Amino acid sequence: MFTSVLMIEKPLTPEDVDFVTTLHGEERISFVVLLQPRGDQADVLLRAIDDVAMGELREAVREGEEPEGKEAREPAEIGLEYSLRALREAGAEAVGQVVEDHPLDKLKSVVDDAGADEVIVLTAPHYVEEFFHRDWASRARHKVGVPVLKLFAHSE
């Protein structure tokens, strides 16, 4: 069985589930999902700049309204359970956890513990972080010792 560690920021859409579960054709796949809710490390200004760069001005204005820190924990847990259920319904094995602090440190230990074959970072575009190679995928490539695939999440 092929094992992927899947890093996400929000619950998977049906399109995301279809996308990640069909990446390896008919091969059976197991996912270890790490969902990081917005927290203190997620800079509101950088998110707003990304929104402006994508032409989503209304979203840029609302960035300060998003729950962060402890307020984001419960919605993240609900989103994780939804995502795990969707992956299982698509025929994959799936376990996961919400990661609040230092997601890349946690990623390294999860990759090692699971004997993962790859890491998939499924995220919205973060232009500022990507430009400076500070996004999850760029940083993970130097840390985990397995291939890291960066995919853009679908939005609903």
Q: Looking at the domain assignment, is residue 114 inside a domain?
A: yes
| pLDDT at 154 exceeding the cut of 70 | no
Whether 20 is in a domain gets the answer yes
Distance CA 24, CA 112 (A): 21
State the CATH number of the domain containing residue 103: 3.40.50.620
Local structure of residue 24 (DSSP, 8 states): T
* DSSP, res 153: P
Answer whether 123's CB lies under 8 Å from 9's CB: yes
Considering 75-79, 81-85, 117-121, the range whose residues carry the highest mean pLDDT is 81-85
Let me know if residue 113 belongs to a domain: yes
Domain assignment of residue 155, yes or no: no
Q: Mean of the per-residue pLDDT values for the chain?
A: 78
Q: What is the pLDDT of residue 59?
A: 54
Weakest mean pLDDT among 5-9, 34-38, 117-121: 34-38
pLDDT at 133: 45
Residue-range definition of the domain harbouring residue 68: 1-150
3-state SS, 51-70, equals HHHCCCHHHHHHHHHCCCHH
What confidence category does residue 132 fall into, taking pLDDT thresholds of 50, 70 and 90? Answer: very low
| 102 lies in some domain | yes
Quick check: is 75 in a domain? yes
Query: Does residue 49 or residue 31 have the better pLDDT?
Result: 31
Q: What does DSSP say about strands 2-8 and 29-35: parallel, antiparallel, or unpaired? A: parallel
Number of domains in the chain: 1
Is it the case that residue 29 has pLDDT exceeding 90?
yes
132 CB-contact burial (10 Å; exposed 0-12 / middle 13-18 / buried 19+): exposed
